[in-house]
Amino acid sequence: MNKIKTAFVLSLLATVACTNKPATQNGDKPLQIVNPEKAQIFVTARDTSLRLSQTADATFENFGQPFETQVCVFVDPTRTFQTFIGIGGALTDASAEVFAKLPEATQKEFMTAYYDKNKGIGYNFSRTNIASCDFSSDTYAYVTDKDTSLNSFNVAHDEKFRIPFIKQAIAAAGGTLPMFVSPWSPPAWMKDNDDVLLGGKLLPEYAQVWANHYVKFIKTYESMGMPIWGLSVQNEPMAKQKWESCLYTAEDERDFVKKYLGPTLQKNGLNDKKLICWDHNRDLIYQRATTLLNDPEASKYIWGIGFHWYETWTGSAMQFENLKRVKEAFPEKELIFTEGCVEKFDLNRVNDWSLGERYGNSMVNDFNCGTVAWTDWNILLDENGGPNHVGNFCFAPIHADTKTGKLIYTNSYYYIGHFSKFIQPGAKRIGCSTNRDKLQATAFLNPDGKIVVVVLNLSDSKLPYQLWISGKAAPVTSLPHSIMTVVI
């Protein structure tokens, strides 16, 4: 592991702001808190060999009232917040094409690394693209030009690489892998710029045809053995990109949902699919959410608001406060992280510790602001950060060296694993805070009764602290530039 010192601008821990209620066991009786005795500890740390490594257990003892001089992470299992759905990555064309180039043994290693709950990091959620995106080797559509009836619709393109890849991922995950789907652009002939690239807008006369297209895709994939959990309206609807893109103002998206997409899903028996709006950065999320959700006719179709982390391109830090504002205003709607990756791939940076720290910082704060599911971008890329038909090469948690057939694990893989390996679907986020800004933390109560606490240290300091629960505490040490998961 190369020891590369990097400067990384990080935001402070966002405070919790969601309606809370007393915890319950199995949804009925108030949870009876059992005095904690032992805690298992798993650590990943810079300048060490620790990678999701189990270290010595910690023992709880009576502690009482801490002093301000005593560093603490406080956990309150009697206060619960959102219900956790899952963590996963996007099963893109690029990932599928790279996977197909690997030897069978390496393919098995890859599937185990991501989806095995014991030997890997237990991914249990996923996303894929509707038609081509930047992480495709080519630009393609599922229908022929001007086919408003969609009679030509077929997914033959996906059958070569992506569909077999998705099916292997579902099998590796134990036969169930909730997946949501997102379009990057309607077919060129449906748009005012007659191009799937460079933004453009959906022509009004094709709004119903485009809504029908989502239904065609979902029903086709499901008929082929790939259940669809949900869908987003449009990937990054405010970004005019050199790759596949399509622009919607907040009013455009609101009207498309309430007049076309929502009713069309309902009419075709797909009203159980989770409809996600926005699917773009945190910077404009409140403005988008209020425009969509203040309209009752649009809101009734919308399950939640999706977001990405790329607001940093403007020079801003990640804007977690905006997530809290949305959750405060619309507590009945869900927040879901739909995409994130580190851009501008450079093979010399695959051991850069800031890669993983960006994930840890985002995940702790996103969950503390009410996020129910977290989806990384490409699950696998090659040694060039692709393939990508417009040269938009990026990092993934795992890269493959297609020349040697070997996998390259970045520290992002381990940072994500500190959440995905231990937090179970159906878990409730519980009260958790720290008394030092150098420590960030989030905590969940799993359906099996175990408490999972993730503690992030982005500083150069070694920080001994007390993990405090109900008047008892266990002494733990957070290493510099580390993430740890404590299981109680």
pLDDT reported for residue 35: 79
436-463 confidence digits (pLDDT tens): 999 999 999 999 999 999 999 999 999 9
Q: Measuring CA to CA, which residue among 207, 211, 237, 213 is closest to residue 131?
A: 213
What value does the mean pLDDT take over residues 104-132?
98
pLDDT reported for residue 89: 98
Single out the catalytic residue among 97, 334, 339, 357. Answer: 339
137 Ramachandran zone, left/alpha/beta (phi>0; psi -120 to 50) = alpha
- What pTM was computed for the model? 0.94
Q: With 60 as the cut, is the pLDDT of residue 30 above it?
A: no
Angle formed by the axes of helices 411-420 and 353-368, nearest 10°: 20
Q: Can you read off the two tokens belonging to residue 422?
A: 């231990």
Question: Cβ(380)–Cβ(98) under 8 Å?
Answer: yes
Residue 279 to residue 171: CA distance in whole angstroms: 28
Question: Cβ(11)–Cβ(321) under 8 Å?
Answer: no
Each residue of 201-223: b (16+ CB within 10 Å) or e? Answer: bbbeebbebbbbbbbbbbebbee
Q: Measuring CA to CA, which residue among 299, 301, 248, 298 is closest to residue 278?
A: 248
Q: Can you read off the two tokens belonging to residue 411?
A: 């520290």
Question: Cβ(423)–Cβ(409) under 8 Å?
Answer: no
467-484 confidence digits (pLDDT tens): 999 999 999 999 999 999
**HEC secondary structure over 36-64:** CCEEEEEEEECCCCCCCEEEEEEECEECC
Q: Can you read off the two tokens belonging to residue 393?
A: 């090469």
Residue 271 to residue 250: CA distance in whole angstroms: 22
The pairing of strands 179-183 and 230-232 is parallel
Q: Based on the residue annotation, tell me whether 68 is a catalytic residue of this protein.
A: no
Q: Based on the residue annotation, tell me whether 236 is a catalytic residue of this protein.
A: yes
- Enumerate the H helices of 4-92 as residue ranges: none
Q: With 80 as the cut, is the pLDDT of residue 109 above it?
A: yes
Residue 483 to residue 43: CA distance in whole angstroms: 6
228-256 confidence digits (pLDDT tens): 999 999 999 999 999 999 999 999 999 99
371 Ramachandran zone, left/alpha/beta (phi>0; psi -120 to 50) = beta
The domains located in the chain, with CATH, are: 38-82+430-487 (2.60.40.1180), 86-425 (3.20.20.80)
φ and ψ at residue 362, rounded to 5 degrees? -65, -45
Single out the catalytic residue among 236, 253, 311, 334. Answer: 236
Query: What percent of the chain stands above pLDDT 90?
Result: 93
Q: With 90 as the cut, is the pLDDT of residue 269 above it?
A: yes
pLDDT band at 34 (very low <50, low <70, confident <90, very high): low
Q: Can you read off the two tokens belonging to residue 455?
A: 């503690």
Q: How far apart are the first and last CA of the chain?
A: 31
Question: Cβ(190)–Cβ(202) under 8 Å?
Answer: yes
What's 314's DSSP letter?
G
pLDDT band at 21 (very low <50, low <70, confident <90, very high): low
